[in-house]
Amino acid sequence: MDRQNYKGLVWFPHERIYQLIRVDKAAGGDLWKHTRHKLKHRRSPPSGKQISIKNQTSIELRPAVVDKKERCGDWGIDTIIGKEGKGGYSHLDRT
């Protein structure tokens, strides 16, 4: 049995159909208006959701005395971001 001609029907892979629709759209056609998703693509970054923190400071810039963990009053805070961007803060006070 030939996959290209199954029971007298011509078979096309869906990728080829969307290629033809994109060519039609580039030529000014309106086939793309009849697709369910209007040829939209949602591409996520390969490493997951990227979140930028304003005014962030590198951990290497903190004083050396903080690393010794002997002084009272030093505190740390960390951002925890989980699934779907939900998250919070972790606060540590060394007293």
pLDDT digits (tens, 9 = 90+) for 6-28: 677 777 788 888 999 999 999 99
Residue 79 lies inside a defined structural domain of this protein: yes
Average pLDDT rounded to a whole number, residues 22-47: 84
Residue 25 lies inside a defined structural domain of this protein: no
Q: What percent of the chain has pLDDT over 70?
A: 77
Average pLDDT rounded to a whole number, residues 55-67: 79
Average pLDDT rounded to a whole number, residues 76-88: 74
Residue 29 has pLDDT above 90, yes or no: yes
Q: Measuring CA to CA, how many Å separate 36 from each of 3, 28, 30, 41, 80?
A: 26, 19, 13, 12, 37
| Neighbour-count burial of 31, counting CB atoms closer than 10 A to its CB (0-12 exposed, 13-18 middle, 19+ buried) | middle
Residue 69 lies inside a defined structural domain of this protein: yes
Give the CA angle between residues 33, 3, 16 to the nearest 5°: 25
Residue 50 lies inside a defined structural domain of this protein: no
b/e burial code for range 51-66 (CB count within 10 A of at least 16 → b): eeeeeeeeeeeeeeee
Question: pLDDT-based confidence at 1, cuts 50/70/90?
Answer: very low
Count how many domains the chain has. 1
Residue 66 lies inside a defined structural domain of this protein: yes
Domain region containing 73:
59-94
Residue 18 lies inside a defined structural domain of this protein: no
Residue 84 lies inside a defined structural domain of this protein: yes
